[in-house]
A = this chain, B = another copy of it.
Amino acid sequence: MPHLTDIEIARRAEKRPLPEIAAKLGIPGAALIPYGHDKAKIAADFLHGLADDPARSDGRLILVTAINPTPAGEGKTTTTVGLGDALARIGKRTAICLREASLGPNFGLKGGAAGGGRAQVVPMEDMNLHFTGDFHAIGAAHNLLAAMIDNHIHWGNALGIDPRRVTWRRVLDMNDRALRDIVAGLGGPGNGQPRQTGFDITVASEVMACLCLARDLADLQARLGRIVVAETFDRRPVLARDLKAQGAMTVLLRDAILPNLVQTIEHTPAFVHGGPFANIAHGCNSLVATRAALRLADYVVTEAGFGADLGAEKFLDIKARIGGLTPAAVVLVATVRALKMHGGVDRADLGREDVAALRRGAANMARHIRNLRGFGLPVVVAVNHFDADTETETAALIDAARAEGVEAISCRHWAEGAAGAEALAHAVAGLCDGPSDFAPLYPDEMPLREKIETIATRIYGAARVEMAPAVERQLAEWQDAFGHLPVCMAKTQASFSADPARLGAPSDHVVPVREVRLAAGAGFVVAICGEILTMPGLPRHPAAESIGLDGDGNIVGLF
C-alpha cells in the first residue's frame, strides 16, 4: 500500500452510520444525541440507567501508556486505537476512550490528535476543530466564574476578596502568549478594579479537570462549588459557591458532560471526551465516559497523557482512586527510535541501526515496567513499528523487556490497522484473564508532603525532593482540610527527572517543587516541578498561515 497521509486515509474511510456503531455496544438509537451525522453524545437518562443496572458488570479496563516521549514520537494514541481495533477484530466487545483535542494548538504547529495511519478515529477534521463544543462550554463556564469574581469586587466586595490574591484566571482555547500576563480593569471606575491576572489555555482550566473527574452533573456542580478562586483580605479562601457561580456554570456544562461517541476507521466505537492538561491536571479522558464504556463493553482501552511516570501514575493515583476504577492490564508503548534517543542518539541519526544505544535507552522502559508492576498490574510492551527499525533492534528491545519479565510485541497497526496489532490484542486479552492486584501508590491518609516524596523517589527514582520553605508552609496549611487529596505532579514529560535533557533512567536526582496549587474542585493538589507553561504561544510561522479551504471546500493545511 502506498503511504497515504493521515488526512487522506481519514477522508477515504467509509464511516458507518453512528447508530450501527452504537449498536455494537448495545446503545439504542434513542440514546444518541446527534451532532452531525458522524458524532453523537450519549443521553443522560441512558447513562443513569447504565450506572444503576444491577444486571451489568464492568468490563476490563486496559490502560495504554508510554516511555518518556521523545521528538522521535512513540504513537501512544495510535496504539490505543490500533489495540482497540484489534481486540474488536478478535471478537471482543470493545470500546476505546480518548481525550478530545485542543483547538488552539492546531493553529500553531501542524497537529491532530486522533491517532495516525490506519489507526485513526474519525471524523478527524471535526475532532481537531470545534468537535461537539465541549471545550467552548468549559471556557464559558470558567470565564463566567472569572467575570463574577471581578463583578463582586466591583459592586462593593461584600466577601472582602483581596484583589491581589485572586488566583482564578481566564481561559481561551487559543495559543496566545500576549494574554499570559495582563492588567485588567483599566479605564476608570466603570471598568472595575485594576489588577494583574492572565489567561491560560482552556485545557488547563480546573473546570476541565472537574468535568473529567465528576461522576455526574450533581457531582460536577458540587466540585465546581468547591473551587478556590481567591483569598479574602484576612486570608480565608473564597470558593466559587461563595459567589453562587456553580449553578450557572453547571448549566453551561449540561451537554458538555455527556460523552461523545465516534468511530475508528475500522468502525470500533470510541468515546472521545474531555482533555485535561497532563501537567497541571491529570491528563485522562472523562470518568463519565470511561465508566459508561466499562458498563457497555467487555474491553475498554484508554490512554493517559505523556509518559507513564506522569500519565499512568496520575491515572492510577487520581482518576482510578476518585472513580473507583481497577485496571486489568497496562500496555507500555515503546519504539526502537525513542529508546535509541534515550540511549543518546541524535534525532538526525535515528535512521542508522544502533543496538548498543537502544540497550542503553531501554533503561527508561525498564523503570516504567517496574513502576507499573509496582502498582500490582500486569504489563505488556507494545513495540510500535517504524519502517526504519531493523530486526536486530526490535529483537533487542524485546529482549530488554523480557529481562524485566514482560512480553514485548511488535505492532504494525499504523501501516496495517487492526491486523497489525492482533498479536498484541491476544496478549492483552490473556493478561486480562489473569490476576490483577491493583493498589494505588499511596493511601489517602498519607500527608501531602509524603505523597510528593513517595512519587518522586519511587516513580521518578529521585534521591529526594527539594521544597522552598513557602511551599512546605503551604502544604502544612492545607494538610488539615485537604490532606486526603491525591497529588498531581506537574513535571517535564521528557525525563524521569525535572530536567528535560536527562533522558534514559536518571537516578539520585533532586526534584524541586517550586510551587503548589490547590485544585479543591477537581480534587487534587498540584506540585509544580520546573517551568510549566499554561498558555502556549504561536511559532514564528504558525500553521494557521497555510490553513484554508481548497476549491472543493476541503480543509488544507490543518494536518
Contacts and interface: CB of A to CB of B under 8 A. Distances in A.
A176 B137 contact: no
Interface in A64-78: none
A130 B255 contact: yes
Contacts of A245: 544-545
B247 A143 contact: no
A174 interface: yes
Contact of A537 (B154, B179, B243, B558): B154
Nearest to A35: B35
Contacts of A179: 170, 184
A553 interface: yes
A144 interface: yes
When all copies of this chain in the complex are counted, the total is: 2
A167 interface: no
A347 interface: no
B177 A247 contact: no
Contact of A177 (B136, B140, B154, B545): B154
Which among A130, A150, A193, A250 has the greatest number of chain B C-beta atoms within 10 A?
Answer: A130
Given A35-B34, A183-B182, A244 B151 contact: no
Contact of A217 (B156, B542, B549): B549
A33 interface: yes
A223 to B, nearest CB: 14
Given A36-B34, A221-B549, A549-B217, A178 B544 contact: no
A247 B191 contact: no
A101 to B, nearest CB: 14
A462 interface: no
A155 B175 CA distance: 14
A540 B155 contact: yes
Contacts of A172: 143, 170, 172
Nearest to A246: B548
A229 to B, nearest CB: 14
Contacts of A143: 172, 174, 176
A510 interface: no
Given A34-B37, A133-B136, A555-B254, A182 B177 contact: no
Contacts of A182: 182-186
Given A36-B33, A183-B183, A247 B548 contact: yes
A437 interface: no
Given A136-B136, A248-B107, A544-B144, A192 B221 contact: no
B187 A548 contact: no
B537 A151 contact: yes
A506 interface: no
Contacts of A465: none
Contacts of A549: 217, 221, 247, 250-251, 254
A112 to B, nearest CB: 13
Interface string A29-45: 00001111100000010
Nearest to A195: B178
B130 A130 contact: no
A252 interface: yes
Nearest to A551: B218
A196 B176 CA distance: 15
Contacts of A186: 181-183, 196
A173 interface: yes
B177 A151 contact: yes
A146 interface: yes
A426 B44 CA distance: 45
Contacts of A385: none
Contact of A129 (B178, B191, B251, B558): B251
B174 A144 contact: yes
Interface in A330-389: none
A33 B44 contact: no
Interface in A203-257: 217, 221, 243-248, 250-252, 254-255
A21 to B, nearest CB: 16
Contacts of A217: 549, 553
A528 interface: no
A106 B343 CA distance: 57
Contacts of A463: none
Given A173-B140, A176-B143, A191-B177, A148 B244 contact: no
A439 interface: no
Contact of A34 (B34, B538, B546): B34
Interface string A528-550: 00000000011010111111110
Interface of A: 33-37, 44, 103, 107, 129-130, 133, 136-137, 139-140, 143-144, 146-148, 150-151, 154-156, 170, 172-187, 190-193, 196, 198, 217, 221, 243-248, 250-252, 254-255, 537-538, 540, 542-549, 553, 555, 557-558
19 contacts: A33-B36, A103-B140, A129-B252, A129-B254, A130-B255, A148-B544, A148-B545, A151-B177, A151-B537, A154-B177, A155-B540, A178-B193, A180-B187, A181-B186, A182-B183, A190-B537, A243-B545, A247-B557, A251-B558
Closest 3 CB pairs of A and B: A247-B548, A181-B187, A136-B136
